[in-house]
Chain A
Amino acid sequence: MRPPRADATTADGRRASFSTLDHGSATLAGALVGQVDGRWRLLAATALPAGSSPDALVRLLANRLDAADPAAARAIGSASPGAPIPWADVPRLVARSRPGANLAVIAATERTRARLEEAARGAGWSIVAGSAERTDPLELTRLATRPGVVAVLVGVADPPGADERELATEIAVATAGIAARRPGLRILLAGPVPDEPLLALRHAPAIERLPAPDGAPGERVASPLRDALAAARGGPDDSRRALAAAAGSLARVLGLRIEILEIGVSGAARVLASPRPADDGETRAAVQLVEAPEAALFRMDQPGSIDRIDHWFTQGLDRARLRDRLAELAIAPWSDLDGDGALLRAAALRAALERLLVATDAELGSAGVDLVVGAGGAWSAIPGPAATHVVADVVRRPGTVQVAIDHARLLGPLGTIEDDAERDAVVADLAADLLLPVGTIVMPRGLRPNRPAGQLLLETAGGRSEIDLVAGGLTLVDLPPGARGTAELAFRGTPELGPRGRHFRVAVSGGLAGLLLDLRDIPLRLPERPDRRRELLGTWERALWPEHDA
């Protein structure tokens, strides 16, 4: 659905408006957007647990707007004073997060299986896999008929290798056997897999032909197969795919290199978008999206995943209890909000972010960007300033970066607007509203720990401040949202802050956390002893999380 044009009024004289809904696995987020002084503005936003009624949410927001600014509410929602505001009738932009559905991968050889797995995982599928080369037909049948498997991806290379030609027919026949048992199972054929055995079935399954796998085994690369698999998994309103479109708009509108780190309960994704001047004078954006279901917030099925959460958790908790609390959160993500439940979420977010970077660095790299945006429900479950600390702890790259949160969960719904120019226009109007600035991180590499490192001179419209820098810790400088300034850093050594040097002058902008000077090691080194690690992490966390000990 398209939002109405910003300069339009409706037939009954109301100003243009629309609502957005982001249906996540754990959270239903909604917002009201309306025209104010000829621009789209965010009027109200909130989030509720998934399962709440979208209509009730929109009505809650409308009532809240009505209570806060009745004149604006009437102008936007209703032509006649006293009449009920027909918010149910205003256009809605809806994005939906698709849970990581299970895909059975059947390949002729182990080499092709690895390629298919990489493509499918990057497209957000959860995988069970086998190959005719290593797995017997009984086991292949069992894995493809497991509860929860919704589709089978069968593939061979194109052209098939000498060892694949005979096996290609065998896996096609085995797949026909599976399809005969499970009517309705989706069959995806990648590469020259013969489809005759499937078509010969009495109730032939719907077959989707996809490109053949390419790239080296185990290498995550963008590929037509991955795009096709992503399209096969999500629909046009899939929120993770929509994030990529929204990131492109942000990059074009703001002229910045954008990185979106999306962490949810059922999956995760990383998007990079960079503006590129085109020959026609317009600005384009290069956008890369990689999904990583293994980085879902409370996913604990990988070796060491509990250990990493324990590593970041600042409260002492025995391992069995920690596992139970995380498992409970996976079932009921909105429970346990008070006290150390929020700290536990922050620890789980750090661990998930680590998994996301590990899963995507090979393809997207670890180069610096201008703006990191936290998206998805995980970022809403911790206070805004603490989000800066989470990014600083995990995304260890020398340089200066702004951090913001998609606080109203608008990026997904806006990303469903198909036309780039139309979406860019809405994003341009809403840019100041849709991203909540939480701070700027300045992170040099190569300082000698626990020694005076130099000086910072911060110049803003409000004045100048000088701060002595000590390597090895975090220094927080008050810089409120909306404030802009210049930071001059004079180091005693020659650390790396993008380039290597002694003097740097960088533009900084404010946020809920302000300016965070992170003079810790890259990569971050923490004490081995759990009590000392918790104490150190807790000290840093308290600075950005006033309710830490509540």
Chain B
Amino acid sequence: MIDSLDLVPVRAHLVSRPRVRLELQPGDRVIAVVGDEIRVGDVLAERIRDPRLVETPMPRDGADQGIPLPGTWLPGEHARAGRHAGAPAGELLFEHGGRRRLATGPHPDRLLAPGDGRVLEVEPGVALVLEVRGIGLAATELLGEPHSGRLVVLPEDSDPRLALDVALAGAIVVLPGRVDAEALARARAMGIHGAVVGSLAERDRRDLVASAARQQAGMHRLAPFGVLVLGGYLRRAFAAAVQAVLDAAAGSTVGLVGDPALLLLPEDLALRVPQPDRIVVRGGTEAGLEGRWLGPGGLRRGRGGITVETGLVSLDDGRTLAIPIGELERFAALASSG
């Protein structure tokens, strides 16, 4: 049965048992193996810092057990008398011309599991694929690194510069109001594990990424920190359905991941499923308002002179308006991860 409601694009904001990819780079030392059951905070891999390429001679016959595949972690070899100079431990890139190319370097950082689940795939130097037991709240982007912590939802009218303090160390903080790079840098300095924001301006994103790069290059690095952006670049309130999920998850342990961008929530969370005809206005003069779908509203010419399809929406404030369908969206019931 085709319903006119299908004219409105649907946003799958909740994903059941999501599959997530955690990015690796050549030289990272993976500890988890396929099939491992993991708990939030488990060490999955040791991150390489400043990876470098080394060429080593092939080992003497029989030193390897079988022929190592690219991506295999090879232990170091001591130098021996004669012409054999030894080799550092590292990840094999490939063998060619009687020599091995390895990615090697120090491993001071850890990649921690952002949620409970199972290791599905290990692609050495590329990614770890996990199936997370729980629900994922869809976002648009994760800036920084995956992490986990207790979810704390700050009130909408709170000023992040005042509300963020060391009592929140280890938490993932939802910042519903205006957020800038300074507030996020402050959160990181307080030992907060991450932030969930509705939107973040391009300038603040660049400042945040630059700050993270400086940390990366520094001798004494701070702990990982992630910023999960649920919307886009322009400030906008959370949709009621999203706010309800965040409120329900407050106090529980959640995770942040970037591929796909999700807030990982506990499996046993009691969530209210939005009504199928519930409509959110995501742009235009009525942005942020919600209501109920009544049907197609026909073609209308907007103020900019563009003619677009509209839908009739009975808004919660009592008005019924014809709003461009491009400005509308609705939330799907719980989707399962591909």
Contact = CB atoms under 8 A, between A and B. Distances in A.
A59 B2 contact: yes
Contacts of A180: 69-71
Nearest to B305: A547
Nearest to A343: B304
Nearest to B285: A338
Contacts of A138: 26-27, 51-53, 93, 101, 103
B300 to A, nearest CB: 10
B326 A60 contact: no
A209 interface: no
Contacts of A425: none
Contact of A182 (B2, B10, B97, B123): B123
B123 A181 contact: yes
Contact of B233 (A47, A324, A334): A324
A145 B26 contact: yes
Contacts of B284: 335-338
A49 B284 CA distance: 15
A51 B330 CA distance: 11
A341 B94 contact: no
A47 B123 contact: no
A50 interface: yes
Contacts of A550: 303-305
A386 B305 CA distance: 10
Contact of B53 (A136, A169, A339): A136
Contact of A53 (B2, B233, B302, B309): B2
Interface stretch (A17-25, A75-83, A171-179, A431-439): A171-179
Nearest to B53: A138
B13 to A, nearest CB: 13
A4 interface: no
Contact of B304 (A145, A183, A547): A547
Interface in A305-354: 320, 323-325, 327-328, 331-332, 334-343
A460 interface: no
Contacts of B125: 141, 145, 181
Interface in B81-131: 92-97, 101, 103, 123-127
A182 B126 contact: yes
Contact of A331 (B4, B140, B299): B140
Name the residue among B4, B8, B123, B234 with the largest chain A CB count within 10 angstroms. B234
Nearest to A344: B304
B144 interface: no
A334 B326 contact: yes
Interface in B1-39: 2-10, 21, 23, 25-27
Interface string B274-299: 00000000111100000000001001
B71 A53 contact: no
Contact of B282 (A174, A181, A332, A339): A332
B92 to A, nearest CB: 8
B283 A336 contact: yes
A52 B140 contact: no
Contact of A324 (B202, B302, B325): B202
A342 B305 CA distance: 8
Given A328-B232, A342-B304, A334 B324 contact: yes
A40 interface: no
A545 interface: yes
B232 A337 contact: no
Nearest to A325: B234
Contact of A60 (B7, B126, B324, B327): B7
Contacts of B296: 60
B69 A547 contact: no
A56 B7 contact: yes
A177 B70 contact: yes
B335 to A, nearest CB: 13
Contacts of B324: 334, 337
A159 B239 CA distance: 60
B309 A381 contact: no
B325 A48 contact: yes
B197 to A, nearest CB: 14
A223 interface: no
Interface string B41-57: 00000000001110000
Interface residues of B, number: 58
Contacts of B23: 147
Nearest to A140: B93
Contact of B95 (A141, A173, A325): A173
Nearest to B141: A331
Contacts of A178: 70
Given A324-B202, A338-B302, A52 B308 contact: no
A137 B53 contact: yes
A519 interface: no
Contact of A142 (B3, B26, B70, B140): B26
B142 to A, nearest CB: 12
A49 B4 CA distance: 14
A135 to B, nearest CB: 11
B179 to A, nearest CB: 13
B306 A383 contact: yes
Nearest to A338: B303
Contacts of A336: 283-284
A420 interface: no
B214 interface: no
Contact of A342 (B2, B9, B70, B306): B306
Name the residue among B93, B101, B305 with the largest chain A CB count within 10 angstroms. B305
A64 to B, nearest CB: 8
A339 B303 CA distance: 6
A392 interface: no
B166 interface: no
B240 interface: no
A462 B190 CA distance: 77
B287 to A, nearest CB: 8
Nearest to B26: A141
A173 B2 CA distance: 53
Interface string B242-260: 0000000000000000010
A323 to B, nearest CB: 5
Contact of A50 (B5, B9, B304): B9
A207 B222 CA distance: 44
Contact of B306 (A57, A60, A332, A381): A381
6 smallest beta-carbon distances between A and B, as pairs:
A334-B326, A342-B304, A51-B9, A335-B283, A547-B305, A177-B70
Given A332-B282, A337-B283, 10 more contacts: A48-B7, A53-B6, A141-B103, A177-B71, A320-B201, A334-B324, A338-B284, A338-B303, A339-B304, A386-B305
27 contacts: A49-B325, A50-B9, A52-B8, A56-B2, A59-B4, A88-B2, A137-B101, A138-B51, A138-B52, A141-B125, A145-B125, A170-B96, A170-B97, A178-B70, A180-B69, A181-B123, A182-B126, A320-B202, A323-B202, A324-B202, A327-B202, A332-B283, A334-B325, A338-B285, A338-B304, A342-B306, A383-B305
Interface of B: 2-10, 21, 23, 25-27, 51-53, 69-71, 92-97, 101, 103, 123-127, 140, 201-203, 232-234, 259, 282-285, 296, 299, 302-306, 308-309, 324-327
